[in-house]
Chain A
Amino acid sequence: MSAYLLNRVGQALFVLWAAFTISFVLLQAMPGDAILIKFQNPDLGLTAQQVAEIRASYAADSPILVQYVQTIGKFLTGDFGYSVQAGVPVNSLLAAHLPATLKLATLGFLLASVLAILIAFLSSLTPFTWLRGVLQSVPSLFISIPTFWLGIMLIQIFSFRLKLVPVINPGPWQELILPVFALAVPISAPLAQVLVRNIDDVLTRPFVGVARAKGANRHWILWRHVAKNALLPTLTIAGVLFGELIAGAVVTETVFGLNGIGGLTERAVGSQDAAVLQAIVVLSALAFVIINLVVDLLYPVLDPRLRTKVGVAA
């Protein structure tokens, strides 16, 4: 087990390094950079010479390899540098923006899971074929709804028309109601789809036939035999969906004016704020790695067969 863990941690570190390096190279390859965008801005009215002096003071034109080694060295000590555009250290930007995204993503994912499970199990349990058809087409509908449109519709209807939740100056949890829903809808779709397919798949297995032959009713079979087996592949998808979650958060946070990593990313991309982007990429990669690690470690908990296999291997 410890060898397995070490191996996984090693992989994780490699992924982090690769994410850092690739994003560094890509940011370098793009035309222009944050300092150019910020200081060539005509609103500042700086002369070519002044811009050149500023570039020199930031060491913006030193060799790429030198910049790479310096940046990675600072990252290892937890120093992410300064945001050129916002004029504050990246650390304080992250500290200000992370909590909102964590809340949004966690709640969004929980609600998405609830929605997905509801859709999947209701469609399996319903005795009516037409209702089953309707429920099973819900994921396709959910995934086709653009998040920004859903967000704006939710605001217009629930905030401006029905006045149920304010979008301006809401309470700390109030502000999450609509965005969590807007984020959960598209995330729930693939989850529900995979779950529905797995349930159908497991229902055709011989052991289900045996259980049925022993006189178990439909509910008993679904909860006791099918659910556990069908959840396993869904868990894998859930790990992968984390990426979707971050992407969805960009749009959701922008529409709802939430102060999260998504909105921060959007602004940093607009101004090619390399220090901020670099920190976000590494942070996202870290989250991705941890979530997938947790998912892998959860498999044996859900499936006793895997538990013994891992035990034997270790």
Chain B
Amino acid sequence: MTTKLKRLALTLATLAATGLTHVGAHAEGTEPVKGGTLIYLEQQAHTNLYPPAGGFYPNGGILNQITDKLTYQNPKTLEIEPWIAESWTVNADATEYTFKIRPGVTFSDGTPLDAAAVAKNYDVFGLGNKALKHPVSEVINNYERSEVIDPLTVKFYFKRPSPGFLQGTSVIGSGLVAASTLALPFEELGDATKIIGSGPFVVESETIGKELNLKAREEYVWGPAKLEHQGRAYLDGITYIITGEDSVRIGALLAGQADFIRQVQAYDESQVEAQDYQIYAPSTRGVNNSVVFRPDNPLVADIKVRQALLHATDAKEIVTTLFSANYPQATSIIASSALGYKDISAKLAFDPEKAKALLDEAGWSVGSNGLRQKDGKELVLTAYESLPQPQNKETLQLVAQQWGKVGVKLNVLAGDSGSRTVDDLDPLKTPVSPAMVGRADPDVIKSQYYPKNRDVLRQKGGLSDKVQSFVDDKLNGLLDALASEPDRAKRLAIAGEIQDYVVDQAYAIPIFEEPQAYAGAPYVQGVAFEAVGRPSFYSTWLAEH
């Protein structure tokens, strides 16, 4: 659907909603109301609910309500606080972690959440299960084994230092599930009713691809220890309804048919706020929305070409043209609210004259058709749009316009998901790619760049066998050090060093800090978000309306 149509539809929706009387003015400071069901409109159906696959936002939005984690990362301070683990100790080189489990916690099927259950979960997340096809969790590095010391004490051993592990126990991908869930083959974990957690809500029923009903668990008394709210959830239940159309989600919210919606495009924000409805745009606190290069491709192998394109990119224009104040312009490769952030905005200046000079220096001269040429080859690059990223096609098209002004052509392809996945592995076909990832630990930088993880630069020996020769040992060494440096201050210093290095090498052009955008009715109170922007409805309540 075209943007124009969406706007037209939205205008109609707004007209419709102006008939509403303004009810339920912000009731902050009053006692939370118990009861009621929250109607939550989700853009996409959830996929496999194996907890380590919880990174996908529709999955995370469900798993965050039905599972608990060992630890709780305070979204304001990013400190790790007790949850299912009452306390923990870590040895000096971060190879041994011991957790004391809170007594009396049970899964919703009645089985105890004790040291044995925690050990079982982490053995699967850390090592995978080949027979049942359970893959390894991205957030657990160097895992070796678990040991149940006593019924409420569990110890984990690592082959090498794993300083990111403690934070890793707090993320969405580390939700604890019952043994019955882990005994199922991976293929059957797309059925939400089979995901047995210990969280404040329980899956009551599901119509796959359409609707999911959660109900509050009455006996839930083990929320994160430092939260103000203790005991069962205020809401009686949550109903998730898949509503793919942007205009229908917003229209339904404004017309009073829904309470909370996920995925609001920047151009729709003002319509929502004009009605006194609230936009929530929690930061994803990870690697910024960026454009990355695959230096294995000869066209972008030259650092000068990459630097030129970095300076030819006007991130400010992109942010002001396409987005809103909820999408701050990037000042590093990671968000300013991320752990280990270093402001390197001076290196990211928009400077087309410098870009032109760099391209001239690199031997690319402007040809008769306005495109840069060298040895009979034109500087024409290709990128596939990324569907999960907000307005990614428009972003890339604007980047293409900006690069066009210095004589470089960027083709932006949509393509089917098969072609995109296959071509994305081949640096010759996709010299440029959009990239972002959220996680509130410096390990996220390693996740993004390390050849054995997401390998966004496509190094030899990484994800793709199509890469000819490109390897950056210095970068990989820094990333290794980041993932295994037990000293916090040293670790954050390494994170800063990597940010400098990636931008000095012009491997990535950071554009903006990506939020997850939600909208809620004025009477919806107490919505919280975990550190990476997934909603938590544990303390949510519905005021009179």
Cβ–Cβ contact B258 & A156, under 8 A: no
Cβ–Cβ contact B244 & A254, under 8 A: yes
Contacts of B462 in A (CB 8 A): 48
Whole-angstrom CA separation of A96 from B151 in the bound complex:
42
Q: Closest residue to B49 on the A side, CB-wise?
A: A87
Whole-angstrom CA separation of A51 from B191 in the bound complex:
23
Cβ–Cβ contact A83 & B190, under 8 A: yes
Whole-angstrom CA separation of A270 from B511 in the bound complex:
27
- Residue in contact with A45 in the complex, picked from B138, B189, B421, CB distance below 8 Å: B138
Q: Closest residue to A95 on the B side, CB-wise?
A: B208
* Cβ of B528 under 8 Å from chain A: no
Cβ–Cβ contact A270 & B128, under 8 A: no
Cβ–Cβ contact B209 & A86, under 8 A: yes
Question: A19-36: which have CB < 8 Å to B?
Answer: 30-33, 36
- Residue in contact with A255 in the complex, picked from B135, B248, B456, CB distance below 8 Å: B248
Cβ–Cβ contact B416 & A152, under 8 A: no
Q: Known contacts being A43-B55, A44-B138, is A160 close to B418, with CB within 8 Å?
A: no
* Cβ of A229 under 8 Å from chain B: no
- Residue in contact with B41 in the complex, picked from A37, A58, A168, A264, CB distance below 8 Å: A168
Contacts of A256 in B (CB 8 A): 248
Contacts of B245 in A (CB 8 A): 152, 254-255, 257
* Cβ of A46 under 8 Å from chain B: yes
* Cβ of B47 under 8 Å from chain A: yes
Cβ–Cβ contact B241 & A160, under 8 A: no
* Cβ of A11 under 8 Å from chain B: no
Contacts of A88 in B (CB 8 A): 187-188, 190-191, 208
Cβ–Cβ contact B421 & A40, under 8 A: yes
Cβ–Cβ contact B190 & A168, under 8 A: no
* Cβ of B447 under 8 Å from chain A: yes
* Cβ of B369 under 8 Å from chain A: no
Cβ–Cβ contact B16 & A46, under 8 A: no
Contacts of B49 in A (CB 8 A): 87
Q: Known contacts being A156-B13, A161-B15, is A168 close to B464, with CB within 8 Å?
A: no
Question: Which of A30, A83, A84, A152 has the most CB atoms of chain B within a 10 A radius of its CB?
Answer: A152
In the assembled complex, how far is the CB of residue A17 from the closest CB belonging to chain B, in whole angstroms?
A: 25
Contact with B along A36-66 (1 / 0, CB 8 A): 1111111111111011011001100000000
Cβ–Cβ contact A166 & B257, under 8 A: yes
In the assembled complex, how far is the CB of residue B263 from the closest CB belonging to chain A, in whole angstroms?
A: 14
Contacts of A225 in B (CB 8 A): none
In the assembled complex, how far is the CB of residue B446 from the closest CB belonging to chain A, in whole angstroms?
A: 10
* Cβ of B45 under 8 Å from chain A: yes
Whole-angstrom CA separation of A46 from B15 in the bound complex:
48
Cβ–Cβ contact B55 & A156, under 8 A: no
* Cβ of B97 under 8 Å from chain A: no
Q: Closest residue to B11 on the A side, CB-wise?
A: A156
Q: Closest residue to B15 on the A side, CB-wise?
A: A161
In the assembled complex, how far is the CB of residue A87 from the closest CB belonging to chain B, in whole angstroms?
A: 2
- Residue in contact with A36 in the complex, picked from B211, B251, B421, CB distance below 8 Å: B421
Q: Known contacts being A37-B417, A46-B135, is A159 close to B186, with CB within 8 Å?
A: no
* Cβ of A132 under 8 Å from chain B: no
In the assembled complex, how far is the CB of residue A268 from the closest CB belonging to chain B, in whole angstroms?
A: 10
* Cβ of B39 under 8 Å from chain A: yes
* Cβ of B402 under 8 Å from chain A: no
Contacts of A54 in B (CB 8 A): 133, 135
Question: B37-54: which have CB < 8 Å to A?
Answer: 39, 41, 45, 47-50, 52-53
* Cβ of B371 under 8 Å from chain A: no
Cβ–Cβ contact B189 & A168, under 8 A: no
Whole-angstrom CA separation of A102 from B245 in the bound complex:
22
Cβ–Cβ contact A47 & B463, under 8 A: yes
Q: Closest residue to B386 on the A side, CB-wise?
A: A42
Contacts of A299 in B (CB 8 A): none
Contact with A along B272-309 (1 / 0, CB 8 A): 00000000000000000000000000000000000000
Contact with A along B122-138 (1 / 0, CB 8 A): 00000010100101101
Whole-angstrom CA separation of A51 from B49 in the bound complex:
18
* Cβ of A85 under 8 Å from chain B: yes
Contact with B along A144-170 (1 / 0, CB 8 A): 000011001101110111010011110
* Cβ of B210 under 8 Å from chain A: yes
Cβ–Cβ contact B251 & A155, under 8 A: yes
* Cβ of A92 under 8 Å from chain B: yes
Cβ–Cβ contact B133 & A31, under 8 A: no
Whole-angstrom CA separation of A152 from B7 in the bound complex:
12
Contact with A along B489-510 (1 / 0, CB 8 A): 0000000000000000000000
Question: B377-436: which have CB < 8 Å to A?
Answer: 416-425
Cβ–Cβ contact B417 & A57, under 8 A: no
- Residue in contact with B17 in the complex, picked from A41, A160, A257, A272, CB distance below 8 Å: A160
Q: Closest residue to B243 on the A side, CB-wise?
A: A257
In the assembled complex, how far is the CB of residue B11 from the closest CB belonging to chain A, in whole angstroms?
A: 9
- Residue in contact with A148 in the complex, picked from B1, B187, B188, CB distance below 8 Å: B1
Contact with A along B175-210 (1 / 0, CB 8 A): 000000000001111110000000000000001111
Q: Known contacts being A156-B251, A267-B45, is A97 close to B418, with CB within 8 Å?
A: no
Question: A253-275: which have CB < 8 Å to B?
Answer: 254-259, 263-264, 267, 270-272
- Residue in contact with B209 in the complex, picked from A58, A264, A272, CB distance below 8 Å: A264
* Cβ of A93 under 8 Å from chain B: yes
Cβ–Cβ contact B207 & A160, under 8 A: no
* Cβ of B149 under 8 Å from chain A: no
Whole-angstrom CA separation of A271 from B416 in the bound complex:
9
- Residue in contact with A169 in the complex, picked from B39, B133, B244, B416, CB distance below 8 Å: B39
Whole-angstrom CA separation of A84 from B190 in the bound complex:
9
* Cβ of A121 under 8 Å from chain B: no
Whole-angstrom CA separation of A110 from B9 in the bound complex:
29
Contacts of A254 in B (CB 8 A): 244-245
Whole-angstrom CA separation of A89 from B208 in the bound complex:
11
Q: Known contacts being A43-B56, A160-B252, is A31 close to B241, with CB within 8 Å?
A: no
Q: Closest residue to B387 on the A side, CB-wise?
A: A270
Contacts of B525 in A (CB 8 A): none
Q: Closest residue to A254 on the B side, CB-wise?
A: B244
Whole-angstrom CA separation of A45 from B428 in the bound complex:
22
Q: Known contacts being A30-B416, A96-B208, A257-B241, is A168 close to B421, with CB within 8 Å?
A: no
Whole-angstrom CA separation of A85 from B209 in the bound complex:
12
**A–B Cβ pairs within 8 angstroms, 19 of them:** A31-B423, A45-B454, A48-B464, A87-B50, A87-B189, A87-B190, A96-B207, A96-B209, A160-B257, A161-B16, A161-B19, A167-B252, A168-B39, A168-B257, A168-B258, A263-B209, A263-B244, A264-B209, A270-B417
Q: With A48-B463, A85-B48 given, can you name 5 additional A-B contacts, CB distance below 8 Å?
A: A33-B418, A36-B421, A40-B463, A84-B187, A257-B245
A-B residue pairs, 8 tightest by C-beta: A87-B190, A45-B138, A32-B418, A259-B210, A161-B16, A87-B48, A43-B55, A168-B257
